[in-house]
A and B are shown apart, each in its own frame.
Chain A
Amino acid sequence: MKKIILLLSAFSFLLSSCGPKAFVKGEYEDTQAENLKNDQWSETDMQKVVHDLVGKMVEHPSISKSKNPPIVMVTQLQNKTSEHIDTQSVMDMVRVELMNTGKVGFVDKEAREDIKSEYEYQGSGVVSEETLKGPGGQTGADFILNGRLDSIVQEVGKSKSVYYKITLNLTNLKTGVMAWSNHKEIRKGFKKQSIGL
């Protein structure tokens, strides 16, 4: 009996000595493959919601029936979840996917300071007349695109469900009327192991 206890103790000790190790052997993975490694917001969630909402947005008459591609300014996606999510990255993906459809154009709010400073530089006389750009030639945006990301997390015992809702709004700058609004929902279920090695 003593021997069994000693053997079990030695075995447990050996197993428990297997502490955390660094990740050393990697491989490239398909960026479009589903990632459900943990219960956090993942790139798969971002890809799913962006792809779905962009598809719906470009089908709306404000864009699909427009004679010229409307000019859109992408602003903020509010984070109302319980995770620190980079919402700028989500809106970047929305902008890129929309731009890839070729049905809309964009003005970059973030670049305004740089543009202003470049006008000042070019206007200082260092640039040739033929290539000189200055204030007054920019195209004004037709729409503002913003949104909100919400989540509901429910956790009981070892079960957890995470629900996300991302809502995007397209507002006409001239009239102030919301031309389009839609949302995409995602719900993920998880089970936690209570006992392991």
Chain B
Amino acid sequence: MKYKLLFVLFIFNAGCATYQHKVQQARSLIEDHQFPQSVALLEPLAKTPSDDQLIYLLDYAVATQLAGDLKESTQSFLKADKLVESVDYHSVSRIGSSLALSEEMVQYKGDSFEKMFINAYLAMNFLSENNYDAAMVEARRINEKYQKNRLDEKKSFEQNFFSIFIGSNLGISKKV
């Protein structure tokens, strides 16, 4: 009986190595404007396939943008955008495991507003590189996601108005 209890405790402890815990130091470094150091901590998490790879990729892409490595930031956001599509389903086996073992067994799929942030950040990266055509591609992606959220009757807080603002301004500036 003792061993069974220990086994259960072990499994629950394993589940406690959560996302928040793993990125805490990298976040503190960003707050201290130590971007390259933060990038170094986030890189192995973002580049290792895992159930939470999406969220690590987003953190890494933002950190690399802040560190001024726009090329790496863009590649990471593009990878995240593809990952969002590929994990957009409910895995019966993972949900089953999460009920029995750990919440982390379920793949992180990203919230609606996070998915729109990807394109807004990409648009900003492309604009910084004077690649206006590529930035406009991202503006159209933002619009598509906005329309889908609208048709899916997502709540207004799930719409990312910052991204919509970025996308709209790109469209307006093209017409001026």
Contacts and interface: CB of A to CB of B under 8 A. Distances in A.
Interface in B96-112: 96-97, 99-101, 105
Interface stretch (A11-19, A49-57, A108-116): A11-19
Contacts of B49: 19-20
Contacts of A9: 96-97, 99-101
A196 B92 contact: yes
A81 B97 contact: no
Contacts of B140: 80-82
B172 interface: no
B133 interface: yes
Given A79-B137, A82-B141, A157-B152, A13 B97 contact: yes
Contacts of A157: 152
Interface stretch (B21-29, B57-65, B83-91): B83-91
Contacts of B137: 79, 81-84
Nearest to A12: B96
A87 to B, nearest CB: 9
Interface string A50-82: 000000000000000000000000000011111
B152 A12 contact: no
A197 B92 contact: yes
A197 B91 contact: yes
Given A82-B144, A156-B151, A8 B96 contact: yes
A15 B137 CA distance: 38
A53 to B, nearest CB: 22
Given A16-B105, A194-B90, A153 B144 contact: yes
A13 B95 CA distance: 10
Contact of A12 (B89, B100, B133, B143): B100
A177 interface: no
A195 interface: yes
Given A82-B144, A155-B148, A13 B100 contact: yes
A195 B100 contact: no
B107 to A, nearest CB: 9
A15 B100 contact: no
B93 interface: yes
B136 to A, nearest CB: 8
A156 B148 contact: yes
14 contacts: A9-B97, A9-B99, A12-B96, A12-B100, A15-B93, A15-B97, A20-B49, A79-B137, A81-B140, A82-B143, A153-B144, A156-B148, A194-B89, A195-B90
Interface of B: 49-50, 78, 85, 88-97, 99-101, 105, 133-134, 136-137, 140-141, 143-144, 147-148, 151-152
Given A81-B140, A194-B89, A196-B89, 8 more contacts: A8-B100, A16-B96, A16-B97, A79-B137, A80-B140, A83-B137, A192-B89, A197-B93
Across the A-B interface, the 7 shortest Cβ-Cβ residue pairs: A12-B96, A15-B93, A9-B100, A82-B140, A12-B97, A16-B97, A16-B93
